[in-house]
Homo-oligomer: A and B are copies of this chain.
């Protein structure tokens, strides 16, 4: 394997939520970025600010199909591949479960083969969903998970597990230099309004003056990592020299209940919010919280952004989006100080 430090960085899924922040941060750091996305769930507007960089190129393509020539003709110049390509929220990845599975397996295989050909380093964006509905808290990387392989979430959970398997097999076979990040709940600007995740759901409901939908009692916990922190970890992981291939949890170990999230958002919105309750979806995990000891040790990383600060940024972005899309004034005022 050769390494071209000055070659292209390919970001598959680069127009998506985390991918677009990753592209921007890499460009700011001086890397040249090939952004590949099928725009299935991502939006070109996420890339608006990036077209000013001369080292940025967008290619539309679906990794479950043959890679576009605009990518493959650069094979010799691709030095790093981040694979963030896959719809990541249940409502979106369940819309076409076969495509979700093939994106993770066929798509990851294709990109691993590209990495092998290019001699590029490869980072697989895996997910805390590989732990399923965990019965161990917090989850260390050695935990094997509690995943239903037959349920409606399996196309994503098992697809991501299978993608890890491929990545590890390419590494064991010395076909590619591989990194695997297990990304836990992440939030921030560029989340979709309609993807059904709790942070975006709540903010959109507050902005629309609607009651917040809580699934179950609201006692289930989540740990939310701000997207800038997640991107920082991914870049550190890609750049780190690793003595052995191990998956690395990337997330915020600060655990809060959904009810506490509602309170924090209410404070940011400076209004009292109403809630309604609905049944928990099938296989929805009751708790999930990363053990990030490995990320601390290997990458010298931990999340730096307090939840209130990250939520305030996110809230402000959604409010601006809403204004831009609807041409309406903001429904609520974002408080200036934390």
Contacts and interface: CB of A to CB of B under 8 A. Distances in A.
Contacts of A166: 98, 101, 155
Interface stretch (A16-24, A140-148, A193-201, A223-231): A140-148
A63 interface: no
A97 to B, nearest CB: 4
A144 to B, nearest CB: 5
Interface string A152-171: 10110011011011101110
Contacts of A162: 101, 105, 149, 158-159, 161-162
Contact of A149 (B105, B150, B155, B161): B161
B106 A170 contact: no
A281 interface: no
Contacts of A327: none
Interface in A181-199: none
Interface residues of A, number: 34
Nearest to A171: B150
Contacts of A154: 161, 164-165, 168-169
B150 A164 contact: yes
Contacts of A130: 149
A109 interface: yes
B109 A247 contact: no
A161 to B, nearest CB: 4
A68 B162 CA distance: 26
A101 B169 contact: yes
A86 interface: no
B150 A165 contact: yes
B150 A97 contact: no
A166 B102 CA distance: 10
A188 B247 CA distance: 40
Given A132-B144, A161-B158, A162-B159, A98 B169 contact: yes
A3 interface: no
B132 A150 contact: no
Interface centre among A150, A154, A164, A170, by most chain B C-beta atoms within 10 angstroms, is A150
B149 A164 contact: yes
Given A105-B106, A154-B169, 6 more contacts: A98-B109, A105-B162, A132-B144, A151-B168, A158-B162, A161-B162
